[in-house]
A and B are shown apart, each in its own frame.
Chain A
Amino acid sequence: MSTTTLHEVTAITRVAPAADRRIPLSRLVRVELRKMADTRSGMWLLIGLAAITLAIVAIYYVTGEESERTFTHFMAATLGPQGFLLPVLGILLVTSEWSQRTGLVSFTLVPLRGRVLAAKVVAGLLAGTAAIVLSIGLAALATVVSGTPHGFAELGLVQLGKFAILQLTGVLQGLAFGLLFLSSAPAIVSYFVFPTALNIVGSLWAPLGHIQPWIDLWASQAPLFEVSNLSDQQWVQIGTSNLIWVVLPFVVGLARVMRVEVK
Chain B
Amino acid sequence: MITVHHVTKQYGAHTAVDDVSFAARPGRVTGFLGPNGAGKSTTMRVIVGLTPPTSGEVLVAGKRYRDMANPGLCVGVLLDASAQHAGRTGREILTIGTETMGLPKGRVDELLERVSLSPIEARRRLRDYSLGMRQRLGIAHALLGDPSILILDEPANGLDPAGIHWMRGLLRDYAASGGTVLLSSHLLHEVEVIADDLVLIGHGRIVAQGTKDELLRTGGTYVEAEQRLPLLHALDAAGIPATTSGDGLRSDAEPRQVGAVAAANGITLDQLRPAEGAGLEELFLQLTADTQREGAVA
Interface residues in chain A, defined as those with a beta carbon under 8 Å from any beta carbon in chain B: 15-23, 27-28, 30-31, 34-35, 38-42, 96, 100-102, 104-112, 259, 261-263
Which range holds the interface residue count of chain B? 35 or more
Contact, CB under 8 Å: A100 / B70? no
A27–B71 touching, CB < 8 Å: no
Q: Which residues of B contact A42 (CB under 8 A)?
A: 87
B65 touches A111 (CB 8 A): yes
B270 in contact (CB, < 8 A): no
Please, which residue of chain A has its CB at the minimum distance from the CB of B65?
A111
A34 to chain B, nearest CB (A): 7
Closest to A100 in B: B85
* Cα–Cα, bound, A27→B79 (Å): 24
Known: A22-B70, A262-B45. A104 touches B79 (CB 8 A): yes
- Residues from chain A with a CB closer than 8 A to the CB of B70 are 17-23
Distance (Å) between the CB of A259 and the closest chain B CB? Answer: 7
Beyond the given A23-B101, A101-B82, A109-B72, could you list 7 further A-B residue pairs with CB under 8 A, ordered by the A residue number?
A18-B73, A19-B70, A27-B99, A105-B141, A111-B71, A259-B52, A261-B52
Partner of B85, one of A20, A21, A39: A39
**In the docked arrangement, what's the CA distance between A111 and B99, Å?**
16
Chain B residues near A21 (CB-CB < 8 A): 69-70
Which B141-196 residues have C-beta < 8 A from chain A? 141, 145-146
B97 touches A102 (CB 8 A): no
- Whether the pair B100, A27 counts as a contact (CB closer than 8 A) is yes
Which chain A residue shows the least CB distance to B93? A105
Q: Are A261 and B45 in contact (CB under 8 A)?
A: yes
Chain B: minimal CB distance from A91 (Å): 16
Interface residues of B (CB under 8 A from A): 45, 48-52, 65-66, 68-74, 77, 79-80, 82-88, 92, 95-97, 99-104, 141, 145-146
Q: Would you give 23 A-B contacts (Cβ < 8 Å), ordered by A?
A: A17-B70, A17-B101, A19-B69, A19-B70, A20-B69, A23-B69, A23-B70, A27-B99, A40-B87, A96-B85, A100-B83, A100-B84, A101-B82, A102-B84, A105-B97, A109-B72, A111-B66, A111-B68, A112-B66, A259-B52, A261-B45, A262-B50, A263-B51
| Residue pair A101, B96 in contact (C-beta under 8 Å) | no
Task: Give the contacting residue for B87; candidates A19, A39, A105, A110; CB below 8 A.
Answer: A39
A104 with B83, Cβ < 8 A, contacts A21-B69, A31-B100, A34-B99 known: yes
A259 to B49 CA separation, bound complex (whole angstroms)? 10
Determine the chain A residues whose CB is within 8 A of the CB of B86 once the complex forms: 100
Given known contacts A23-B100, A108-B71, A109-B72, A102 and B85 CB-to-CB distance under 8 angstroms: yes
